[in-house]
Structure 1
Amino acid sequence: MSSSQIFPRFEGKTVLVTGAGTGFGAAIAYRAAQEGADVGVHYNRSRAGAERTVARIEELGQKAWIFQADISSWEQVRRLAEEAFSQLGTVDVLVNNVGDFASETQGWRELDQESLDRVIDVDVKGTLMMTHEFGARMVEQGHGAIVNIGSTVVVRGSARAPQYAAAKYAVLGITKSYAHAFAPTVRVNTFAPGFMETDALLARADWQAGRRETLIEATPLAQIPPPEAVAGTALFLASEDASHMTGGYLVADGGYNMVGA
């Protein structure tokens, strides 16, 4: 990817990113700091990853805080919201990045109760509860923006992991519902990246067995980017440039799906 100038779109703002210890969440948290934000770094299990993200943010001269919570628990989500608003003073932007994409499922016949429950608990219930608790407090403070990380899987579905496609479709309903509920004070949008070369994707058996090459061939921009390449695109939805967008669905997938009217 060619390097480009990074503008301070979030100078003086606080941004909380869930799942910011690894992968796309870590990239978004770091990009927010590059753009001038102080950042809340949430994790569930990857404490070491969260600490690495915080160290990188502090190297930029920005403040960073670590928060732990299992977002499939409403009690823990409520505690997270209370801690975040207490420690940060205000939360200007929430990025709901956490999601379970059922990487262990390589075909629909492998779907079982455990995988179904886990994906629904994290991707659907977790996203809804985070949006609900943080959004309610943002309405009280008089401003805010929420970006829910969705997926282009809603366009084509997934024979590999139907539970993941179902969950990410639900995120669209959550986004639209709370965009109505919180308007005009708080904006809520969905950002849908295509495939990104995170460590989790690189470790997948199907990725190592030729799927990467097949997808690159079908992608007009002819690349599967690292998460850093689209982190700024996700944050666009929380910026002033997107001030007239709510309930929206923004895709950045190299032209693979070309969703539109």
Structure 2
Amino acid sequence: MTYPQRFAGKTVLVTGAGTGFGAEIAVRAAQEGADVAVHYRSSRRGAERTAERVEEQGRKAFLVQADIAERSQVVRMADEVWSHFGRVDVAVNNVGDVAREQMSWRDLTEESVDHVLAVDIKGTLFCTHEFGDRMLAQGGGAIVNIGSTVVVRGSARAPQYAAAKYGIIGLTKSYAHAFAPVVRVNVFAPGFIETEATLGREDWQSGRAETLRANTPMGRIPRPEELAGAALFLATEDAAHITGGFVLADGGYNMIGA
């Protein structure tokens, strides 16, 4: 397959690129001409594999580890990436905790609420703040925060996850306003994706996948590589007049009953 070279000569930073959607965004960026900073927290082996795949495309990869819920680590990560590449043209804040182990709102724990909000809201905010500040200093850039279709309907399963993804919309609009017109900030919101983590979920294996497919006008749940190019669109020149935006890619699922 031939890919458009939308990021030729550019550097892209992807958080949570050791596994799942983040890994595929990183690889797709490389396929489109970018050198890639591959962030991970604990999935070092996965991040190394992502870096290998980036290099297989003839591009440069740089691994960086950080817990984005701690601001000092986000600053250190940015220091390392900017020192290595000199600049970052695109940052994709993909890291998020969906409280995957929770099958019902009745199973809510304070620990889970604290962790989901710390990673999804604090982490995304710290990354947007730090990366955007440096992009302003370098004269330009684009940030894509990964949201979720959950904001359309909420989540009876995990209310804290829905709350966190709503929060990402708020922080995205705030920084989009603050950084304009130099740096653009947008939300890309996928629906369900068939990552390894999703495929391993208890509810997924007990019938939920079939129900979701039946209720999705497009009739299927995509693999992460099928959505990576759409997420990166928000960072391209074709999206130059889009900031503070929200792009939903859920196969039409949320049209049902709207």
Q: TM-score, normalised by structure 1?
A: 0.97
Which residue in the other structure is 2:167 paired with? Answer: 170
Tell me the amino acid that sits aligned with residue 251 of structure 1. Answer: L
Structure 1 residue runs of 5 or longer lacking an equivalent are none
Structure 2 residue runs of 5 or longer lacking an equivalent are none
Tell me the amino acid that sits aligned with residue 59 of structure 1. Answer: E
CA displacement at 1:75 relative to structure 2: 0.5
Which residue in the other structure is 1:51 paired with? Answer: 48
Partner Cα distance (1:136, 1:258) in 2:
37
CA displacement at 1:96 relative to structure 2: 0.1
Partner Cα distance (2:6, 2:250) in 1:
23
Query: 1:19-57: per-residue Cα shift (whole Å, max 9, x none)?
Result: 000000000000000000000000000000000000011
Which residue in the other structure is 1:191 paired with? Answer: 188
User: Which one of the candidate residues 12, 16, 30 is aligned to 1:15?
Assistant: 12
* Equivalent residue pairs, number: 257
1:101 aligns with 2:87: no
1:246 aligns with 2:223: no
User: Which one of the candidate residues 200, 203, 206 is aligned to 2:203?
Assistant: 206
1:130 aligns with 2:122: no
Q: Which residues of 2 match residues 49-128 of structure 1 at below 5 A?
A: 49-128=46-125
Partner Cα distance (2:48, 2:57) in 1:
15
Q: Secondary structure at the match of 1:196?
A: coil
Partner Cα distance (1:246, 1:145) in 2:
9
Runs of 4+ with deviation above 2 angstroms: none
Q: TM-score, normalised by structure 2?
A: 0.98
Identity of aligned residues (%): 68
Tell me the amino acid that sits aligned with residue 196 of structure 1. Answer: I
CA displacement at 1:258 relative to structure 2: 3.4
Partner Cα distance (1:62, 1:178) in 2:
30
Tell me the amino acid that sits aligned with residue 83 of structure 1. Answer: E
Tell me the amino acid that sits aligned with residue 198 of structure 2. Answer: L
